[in-house]
Amino acid sequence: MINLLPHDTRERLRADYRMRFAAVSLLAGSAVLVIAGGLLAPAYFRAGAAQNSLLIQASVTDMSISQPNLVAASKNGSSALAIYKALHDSAAIPRPSAVIDSLLGVRDTTIKIQRIDLTTTASSATVNLSGVADTRDDMLAFKQRLMQVPNVSSVVLPPEALAVADQTPFVITITYTLPQS
């Protein structure tokens, strides 16, 4: 196509075209940023709430189970305490507080318990303790102390837990024979 317009008019049209293209690109880019920000903001706030929930559960897990700590935790409204109370008050489960107290009583500051799963029958309880030990030796010493707890019939530590030397994650399965009352 042959353009018969004068040179200065052609340059002015090109400059106008560039200006319009830049304006449309800027508006489209800002629209994308506003939409992305609007869609990501709820996810950001939800992640913050989930992190706060995990911090509350971690603080409850690291506390010792005693009456003053339970009263303090009930004021915080923690979900771990509600689970503990439900286990403690249930007539079908024989005294989970005694099992948990005896097992957590042998840990020291090098062992951080992150999760406790308790399954009971009429005569025994199976407890899975998940957590992190400062070193492999601390974890093995904790296992030895668990085996010395009265009514503990077995302590199983998977071999893969020994693979890491420092900040060792573990899951220990403990079978606890419940005393007959």
pLDDT in tens, 15-69: 999 999 999 999 999 999 999 888 888 877 777 776 666 556 555 444 444 445 5
Read off the pLDDT band of 179 (50, 70, 90): low
Tell me if 106 sits within 8 A of 148, measured CB to CB.
yes
Of the three residues 9, 41, 60, the one that is the final residue of a domain is 60
Residue 65 lies in a domain: no
**Whether residues 38 and 102 fall in one domain:** no
- Calculate the CA dihedral of residues 68, 100, 146, 59 and round it to 10 degrees: -50
Give the domain extent around 171. Answer: 93-177
Which of 29-33, 43-47, 122-126, 166-170 shows the highest mean pLDDT?
Answer: 29-33
110 compared with 29, residue with greater pLDDT: 29
Residue 76 within a domain: no
Query: What confidence score (pLDDT) does residue 26 get?
Result: 96
**75 within a domain of the structure (yes/no):** no
Contact status, residue 99 vs residue 178, Cβ threshold 8 Å: yes
pLDDT in tens, 60-105: 444 444 445 545 555 555 555 555 555 554 444 445 676 777 777 8
Q: Are residues 55 and 104 in the same domain?
A: no
The two most distant CA atoms of the chain are separated, in Å, by: 107
- Residue corresponding to tokens 């506003």: 34
Contacts of residue 59, Cβ cutoff 8 Å, sequence gap at least 6: 78
Give the total number of structural domains in the chain. Answer: 2
Same domain, 103 and 47: no
Residue 20: CB atoms within 10 A of its CB come to: 10
